[in-house]
Amino acid sequence: MFSWGDPARVRRILEGAGFREVLLKPVALNFQLAGAGGAAEAAEFALLFGPLTRILPDLPPEQHAAIRAALEGFFRACRAARGRIAGGVLGSAGAGLM
C-alpha cells in the first residue's frame, strides 16, 4: 500500500502493464485513524498494516514494545496538534490501455 506513494514506480508499473498516458495526482483525504481508543488504537493500526509489518516479526519483544510506545507518542502529539488522529494524502491514478 505505501510503496504506491512513489509516482515514478507507479508509472513504471502501469506503463509496463500496457497503460499509456498515465496521470497521477495526490488526493487529500480526511479520514480518522482512531476512534475512542485514541493513540493506542492508531498505534495498533500502524502495527497491523503498512511497512512495519515487514520488520516486526523479526524483532525481539522489547523492540516491538518500544516501537509501539513511539507510535502512541506520535499519535498523541498528532491529536494534540489537530484535535484528532487523522490520515493524510493518498493518490489517484488514471491511464488509458493501448
- In tens digits, the chain (98 residues) has pLDDT values of 456 778 888 889 999 999 988 888 877 666 666 666 688 888 888 888 777 888 888 889 999 899 999 988 888 887 655 555 555 433 444 444 33
**pLDDT score for 80:** 59
Secondary structure (3-state) at 36: coil
Q: How many domains does the chain have?
A: 1
Q: Are 50 and 42 in contact (CB under 8 A)?
A: no
Q: Are 84 and 15 in contact (CB under 8 A)?
A: no
Find the domain containing 82 and state its range: 2-97
Query: DSSP label at 25?
Result: E
